Structure 1
Amino acid sequence: MRMAASDAHVYLPTRGAVRGAAFAFFGFGALCVTGGMLWGIAMAATGDHAAAGAHAHLNLVGWVTMGLFGLYYALTPPAAASRLAWVHFAFAASGVILLVPGIFMAVTGRSEGLAIAGSFVTLASMLLFLFVLARHGFGRGD
């Protein structure tokens, strides 16, 4: 089935929408990947790759996952406008903040408690995202 050019819709969010949940997810993700890049450069410069697992999680959970969440909220304004988007952001960001240092502590022979806590908060974030996705679907909804 062919779409006519008039059937195509492009969503360009307003400034207010950009500064909402999508912006928060992307902003936090950008901070994470910047930190991950600097950390990777430091590991390469010193030859000490003991923290590679924590570094990888900072980039994957902190940048990739947060960026995908941000993309979803940018493309799905009804979900972004809900209070649940901010609850989701709080869980997702907290998960990264707990998980990455927790993994570092675990791989350097310290306690694994923070990594476990961060894992459960990150899991809660993903379960919350699944709920948001089921509730709002994907896209503008019009």
Structure 2
Amino acid sequence: MSVRFIKAAVIYFLIGTILGLVMGSTQAFEYTSVHAHINLVGWASLAIIGLIYKAYPELGDAKLARIQFWLHNVGLPMLIVSMVIFTTDSHEVGIPFAVLGGLLIIVSVILMTVNVFKRLRS
């Protein structure tokens, strides 16, 4: 699973970097929260998770890691879409995406926490 997490992280890094360049060149700074979440919850978090799972393969081999991967990578795009929708002041449309996407990411993080405390031994 470590490779999947790292590859997904690199995709978010590419998207976040391109978005940052577009934002800067067009002065479209209303997408700052989108840019930040892509880079932090996508690139940085997934890269760190991938490296942890590479260092401790028993964690990455667990079923929890596979479920975590999919929850995170379904939830984050939903959260990103909600933030883009929020820039159009369509909060009633964006809120369900934000709630569901955020919940999927939180459950993903909880699964990783359970995985680490259940399997990682000193």
- Please give the TM-score of this superposition, normalised by the length of structure 1: 0.79
- Structure with the larger helix share: 2
Deviates more, 1:37-46 or 1:90-99: 90-99
For residue 53 of structure 2, the aligned residue among 73, 76, 79 is 73
For residue 44 of structure 1, the aligned residue among 12, 24, 30 is 24
For residue 108 of structure 1, give the secondary structure of its aligned residue in structure 2.
coil
Provide the C-alpha distance between the structure 2 equivalents of 1:103 and 1:137, rounded to a whole number of angstroms. Answer: 35
Provide the C-alpha distance between the structure 1 equivalents of 2:72 and 2:48, rounded to a whole number of angstroms. Answer: 12
For residue 115 of structure 1, the aligned residue among 98, 101, 108 is 98
CA contact (8 A) 1:106 1:115 kept: no
Provide the C-alpha distance between the structure 1 equivalents of 2:67 and 2:103, rounded to a whole number of angstroms. Answer: 15
Q: Does 1:60 align with 2:40?
A: yes
CA contact (8 A) 1:50 1:108 kept: no
RMSD across aligned C-alpha pairs, in angstroms?
Answer: 1.3
Q: Which residue type is aligned with residue 84 of structure 1?
A: L
* Unaligned ranges ≥5, structure 1: 1-20
Provide the C-alpha distance between the structure 1 equivalents of 2:63 and 2:96, rounded to a whole number of angstroms. Answer: 30
Q: After TM superposition, where is structure 1 displaced by more than 4 Å over at least 4 residues in a row?
A: none
1:67 Cα deviation (Å)?
A: 0.8
